[in-house]
A and B are shown apart, each in its own frame.
Chain A
Amino acid sequence: MSENARYLNEARYAALIEGTQRARSRVTPSTFPHRDAAEAVLYLEARLLDDGRYEEWLELLTGDCLYWVPAEAKRGDPRHEACVNFDDRRRLLDRVALLRTGYLHAQTPPSRTSRTIGNVETWEVQGGALEVRSSLTLWMYRQGETTPYAGAQEHELVQVKGAWRIRQKTVRLLNSDAPLGNITFIL
């Protein structure tokens, strides 16, 4: 997929913030549109990441994707907040390239992860996109120690040439605003 660096503009930031607020204010139950498709994408993503197949994971993401791990617990405007991660496709490709250099000491040896996705809810939103909310529980093993991570995920899925792809992924860690250890793997 090509590298387009120009899609993260004011409008995209604004849409992201609006989507965040919308996702948060939902109080009615999901009617689960496209639930099977959404679950299939999320489970596949979890499997690819747990297996360290980052290149294939990148193929699941659109050319104009965003990967966002806020460092604040409550607010939600990355224009004014530093984040644990806030990556466009270019910075994600950097991240994967970094993991592949063989010299990333923080991933030598690499983290092993096992993640479980639950509480999957879906909503259809503007333009045929799918908003997916889920819970994430992740265990990370490295250097004799196992560290738990937990949080909520928000995915925006869109159809590209008939297949569902991830356009936006947000991971809200429970301890997002607390001192964090080594998270050089991808959540």
Chain B
Amino acid sequence: MVSVSEVAPPQARGHYDGLVRADGRVHRTLFTDSDIFKHEMLKIFGGSWVFLLHEAEIPAVHDFKTITVGRRPVIVSRNEDGSIVALLNRCPHRGSMVCSLERGNAARFQCPYHGWTFLNNGELYGVPYRKGYGPAFDKRKRGLGRFPRLETYRGFVFGSLNPGVEALTEWLGPAREIFDWCIDQENLGPRGVSVVKGMTMVYRGNWKLQNDNNGDMYHAPVTHRSTAEMNLARHGTGKTLDHFKSDNNPMLAKYFGHGHKLLDQRPSIDSPWERARPLPGREVMGDAVVQRLGEAAARAYLDLTGRSGINLVLYPNLMMMGHGTFAVYEPLAVDCTNVRYYTALINDAPPEVNTLRIRFSEDFNNVAARDDNEIFERIQTALEDVPEMPWLDFSKGLDTDRERVGEDGAVTGNISDETGIRGSYAWWKTLMQRDFTPQALGVEADEGRSR
């Protein structure tokens, strides 16, 4: 079998040490070089755990959803026995994408070109005019490639094409505690959550710009100044972003290892409900919940309709926003990225609470996230066009007394420090230089180049 490193771009081996430096500088080619991008799709999106979907997105037997994993078209399907598999959406015959629907319910998939049919666990089921194939034709090796590793962690489904990838809990490491906290927030009733699709944005910029940004509080008062000023002028103090005016505060930036990072604004957010911008229907729906449940119980629910103050980035592609909304980064090209938002609805919550959660999820996206996208596009353009200035600087917090290493190995910095982002780039380098043999079950192994 050909290992991924053999098909990597020639300049890649040992090359990355010079591009991600210990002094916090990162080279512009990480954002602009399409060979590096292709290599990332192999080594990061092909070699690490990658978030696929929440299992509530495919609740019933035979439900499926199509996604991309490092550009590869993938079908995530729930089988007859309730288990979930991730399949490469590429016909083993002559390469057509097999399923073109975004989601649906199907026990089998039929390729639209010559009609090979596959069970939704990936196995080849039927081949038209089968007699035309000789005795060497092995049906068991002509299935849809299946991810060799797939694990569901409390509803969140992760997959990997690297059979030797570390155990999922090891990969989560000390980030697990805060990931649990986010999930516990929604675990109010026994019937769990449903997931609704939120907005999807596309920007002309590298995927890491969004990943960096979700571990960056430094930018908030400047990039989102319009939001802060509008809120202040229209709704007075105490609303979104009003809690961050200087970096002399108890909030934290954190790096957990394995690329995972956190902004923890919880120490400065007393009540998400009080702090939330006035959403459409807030008063009427809030009152209805209070009337039905009483003040205390209602408040517990209503606090789930605003920002809890968590930005947790699980590397490379999942961001938990801590109010039931999560984002998935989907790289399309070195300079093009989708960001897909989803919101978890609490099945046992009063309907008003879920509606307000949806209204809240729209709010930040509509108002503030657009400014982030604008900045990403400006960065992308300037990085591409200014070779005389090759470096980006992520050194904030380095060599100061603001950063400390905890017993669990996590590094904590001030909320405005680039602690987490620097950690992610160190991990990026580790992944890009890690050797492994990619594998997809059910397909002929190693007949030629795996690229």
| Most chain B C-beta atoms within 10 Å of own C-beta, residue among A5, A82, A86 | A82
Closest to A184 in B: B370
Question: Which of A29-37, A118-126, A149-157, A175-183 sits within the interface?
Answer: A175-183
A80-B226 in contact given A6-B284, A90-B280, A180-B201 (Cβ < 8 Å): no
* Contact status B226-A101, CB under 8 Å: yes
Closest to B361 in A: A82
Residues of A within 8 A of B367 (CB): 94-95, 98
From B277, B282, B283, B341, give the contact of A82 (CB < 8 A).
B341
Residues of A within 8 A of B363 (CB): 91
**Looking at chain B, what size class is its interface with the partner chain?**
35 or more
B:264-319 near A, CB below 8 Å: 277-284
B:355-375 near A, CB below 8 Å: 355, 358-359, 361-363, 366-367, 370-371, 373-375
From A90, A106, A178, give the contact of B373 (CB < 8 A).
A106
Q: Write out, one digit per residue, whether chain A residues 70-102 have a CB within 8 A of any chain B CB (1) or not (0).
A: 011000001111111111101101110110011
> Counting CB contacts under 8 A, is B343 at the interface?
yes
A82-B226 in contact given A8-B284, A9-B284, A181-B203 (Cβ < 8 Å): no
Determine the main DSSP class of A at the interface with B.
loop
Question: Which of B147-155, B191-199, B253-261, B385-393 sits within the interface?
Answer: B191-199
Give CA–CA (A129, B367) in the complex, Å: 32
A8-B280 in contact given A82-B362, A85-B362 (Cβ < 8 Å): yes
> Counting CB contacts under 8 A, is A40 at the interface?
no
Residues of B within 8 A of A177 (CB): 197, 200
Residues of B within 8 A of A13 (CB): 281, 355
Residues of A within 8 A of B227 (CB): 98
* Contact status B370-A182, CB under 8 Å: yes
A106-B370 in contact given A8-B281, A82-B358, A88-B281 (Cβ < 8 Å): yes
User: Shortest beta-carbon distance, B319 to chain A, in Å?
Assistant: 16
Closest to B357 in A: A82
- How many chain A residues touch B (CB < 8 A): the figure is 40
Closest to A67 in B: B280
A:1-35 near B, CB below 8 Å: 5-6, 8-9, 13
> Counting CB contacts under 8 A, is B223 at the interface?
yes
> Counting CB contacts under 8 A, is B22 at the interface?
no
> Counting CB contacts under 8 A, is B48 at the interface?
no
9 smallest beta-carbon distances between A and B, as pairs: A179-B202, A82-B198, A88-B280, A103-B226, A106-B370, A8-B281, A104-B226, A106-B374, A103-B225
- Contact residues of A with B, CB < 8 Å? 5-6, 8-9, 13, 66, 71-72, 78-88, 90-91, 93-95, 97-98, 101-106, 108, 177-182, 184
8 further contact pairs, Cβ within 8 A, besides A66-B280, A98-B230: A8-B280, A8-B284, A85-B362, A91-B279, A95-B366, A101-B225, A181-B202, A182-B374
